[in-house]
Structure 1
């Protein structure tokens, strides 16, 4: 139990920070890295990118595979930004502007995804006998069994989302749940929704839609 002196000390500190209004300071365990107000995009570098990478890691987008905090906005950092934008139903452009920055600053939860190590088990639970192991091989080739993998941009500007890499220029619209593009991207980055949609796509069109169909 927290002692009364510690509570009073916290209140005094809150008053000092808040200019007289009593408030509650965030717990150090949940304190968020403060992001720069600079718009960040692929190819940028510096301390502001390091803060972005640290914040993405704080939100648990990694499932045990954290971004390297190196201050370089490269492919993996952009993929995580795409994934964050998709799960929070923002415009998926890979640019950390005011809307994405605000969502990053205010988010208190991660993206609520299962980790790569358990994706194969979920495929086995959802797909019927006889096609499960092939489906796992295809998914492993497509995304590395990473539920928040985002591939692209492709030559036509499209992106591919999730375990089975649904393309937002075609398969995303028809097979994933949701009435808006934002909802469908969110579903594509949710492992079980993606896996079920992939089964529907397979039942309709076989393995042909996947680049890794021969895996």
Structure 2
């Protein structure tokens, strides 16, 4: 479940989403980007009369440049969520959709050619936004891919346990599940017992991104705990020590096992 990124050439950020782009590469020991980026987004030629610098915007980036990118994608119908300035799975998916429609390399990285095409499309009176409009069901299904769910769950590992917590400042077990799926556009009930009764589809065995439910972990009726299955008999859950990875084959979880539901 771990991803390795290689240190490569990164570009200085001074503005984002400009119509005329020029690029001044610098080496940064702490800069990370995707290995072997497509040639479609790595052109670093500089015109004599262009002095604007930009950067690759990639998953994990934050700030005003990302918010500006989200705003452009929103105007074109690719992005329908909050403009939060966080380049997460939803923003990455929107960039990939735009790249595919524009005939660019589909890597989810907002590089020079993607930004130039985005500005050109936004400025064009003939932009065909109807080709990228998705109905709510399709958008939710695409957003809730197993990789997105697991990535978001992994991003909050180490968050402390807080009774009643529903944010990255602190989670309880159901608050963690509700938060992760909310990030991919899936609304769930607040309590595990209600999630088990009302949400999703019951499945016989878990797939990556499904939710495993347990009962009898404390004195309450019905489902009382849950975790997101990440494969290899492991789950991410909000336990008493906070959000962590747990082995579901240990006796405690086997003794309290209730079932599995898919919310994707």
TM-score band w.r.t. shorter chain: 0.3 to 0.5
More strand by share: 2
More helix by share: 1
Q: TM-score, normalised by structure 2?
A: 0.32
Q: TM-score, normalised by structure 1?
A: 0.38
